[in-house]
């Protein structure tokens, strides 16, 4: 996975105060950053626990309006697909509500696509 993608995701996660983030490629690479272990519950593993879970996210996002917001308890995940072969999940556990997170996600998605040329 290209360093520029990981760097862009890290910078955006820091700027928007996401607790952790995951980048998965269609080729099966999965990269985690931030404090994924600090999240309550298992949403990170449900979505990106391994190659099969990540492939399921790719398949699910095909043809859907993006970004998508998932919630498990007090943990939210903002899912986006900045390129055809990359899926990114930004995770928050800080009281943001889903509607506001979706609005923020549109900005985050646009920023990420501009940074990586998606």
Vertex 103 angle, CA 60 and 44, to 5°: 45
The total of structural domains in the chain comes to 1
CATH of the domain at 44: 3.30.450.30
Q: Dihedral sign, CA of 49, 51, 56, 57?
A: positive
Q: What is the pLDDT of residue 1?
A: 53
Q: Mean pLDDT for each 10-residue chunk of the chain (118 residues)? A: 86 95 94 92 92 94 92 92 94 83 89 84
User: Given this model, what pLDDT does residue 100 score?
Assistant: 84
Task: State the pLDDT at residue 116.
Answer: 87
Query: According to the model, what pLDDT value does residue 112 have?
Result: 93
Dist. CA 11–CA 46, nearest whole Å: 24
Domain that holds residue 39: 3-116
């Amino acid at each position: 996975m290209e360093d520029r993608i990981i760097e862009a995701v890290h910078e955006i996660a820091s700027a928007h105060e996401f607790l952790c983030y995951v980048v998965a490629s269609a080729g099966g690479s999965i990269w985690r950053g931030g404090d994924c272990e600090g999240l309550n519950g298992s949403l990170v593993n449900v979505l990106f626990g391994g190659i099969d879970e990540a492939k399921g996210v790719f398949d699910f996002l095909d043809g859907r309006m993006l970004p998508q917001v998932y919630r498990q308890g007090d943990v939210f995940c903002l899912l986006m697909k900045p390129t055809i072969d990359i899926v990114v999940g930004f995770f928050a556990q800080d009281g943001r509500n889903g509607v506001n997170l979706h609005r923020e996600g549109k900005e985050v998605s646009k920023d990420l696509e501009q940074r990586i040329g998606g």
